[in-house]
Amino acid sequence: MNDQNRPIAIVLSGGGTRGALQAGALKALFEHGIQPDILVGSSAGAMNAAFIATDPSVAGADNLANIWRRAADADLFPGNILTQALRFLLGKESLYPNENLRRYVEDNTPPGFQRFGDITAVRLLVTAGDLVTGTLFLFGEDPDALLIDGVMASAALPGIYPPIRLDGLTLVDGGVVANVPITIAADAGAKTIYTISLGFNGTPRMPAQGALGIALQGLD
C-alpha cells in the first residue's frame, strides 16, 4: 500500500465467542499485503489484538485460530448452574471466576511479551471501561502497563467475569463503552482503518430470559 495511506490500523470489535472469526479475517488481510501499524481491540477483540501484535503475520493469524480452537478445552467458564447460583447467593461479582482465563492468556502469550512496551511490530491499544464513571480507559499509552491487565480488563464483561481493579479504578469489558473503537484508531493517527466487526447482520434475536440468560447473551 502507498505510504501516503499509512499509518494503517486494524480495529477488532468485541463479540464474545465469535471472536474466533477474527483470526480468519486477519489472515485474509495479511495474505493481501495489509500490514498494520496500529492494532486496536475491544473485549474479545482485545485478546485477539494482543496475541496478533506479537506476530502480525499469516503465521500469527494461524496461531490465533489454534488458540481459539484449544479454548474449548480450557474450561474458561467453570462450574455449573449450581455453582453459579452459589456465587450469586454469596454476593460474588460474577457468575464465573477469571483464573482459568488469565492462565490461558498467559500460557499462550509468547515469552518476552509482558508489557505493552514489549510490542514493537505495531502499536497496540486496548480499551476498557471504568465501571464507576462509565468512561473509556485506554491501555497502551503507558508502555509499562502489563498486557495481561489490559486483556483481562477488556474481557471482564459485567456479570460474567469479575472487574479488574487497577490503580484505584474498577475496569470492565471495553465493549461496554466502545465495542468498535474506530475513533481510537483515528485519534492514534491512522489514515487507513480496517474494521473487523462481529456485529449481527440485522436478523432479530429473541430476547434472553432471566438474569443468567441476559448475562450470557451479553457475552455473545
Model confidence pLDDT, tens digit, residues 7-44: 999 999 999 889 999 999 999 999 999 999 999 999 99
Model confidence pLDDT, tens digit, residues 75-128: 887 777 887 777 777 777 788 989 999 999 999 999 999 999 999 999 999 999
**So where are the chain's domains?**
3-219
| Mean of pLDDT over the chain | 88
Taking the CA atoms of residue 80, residue 179, residue 105 and residue 86 in that order, the dihedral angle to the nearest 10 degrees is -20
Its pTM stands at: 0.86
User: What CATH number was assigned to the domain covering residues 3-219?
Assistant: 3.40.1090.10
Q: Quick one: cell of 68? A: 481459539
92 within 8 A of 130, measured Cβ to Cβ? no
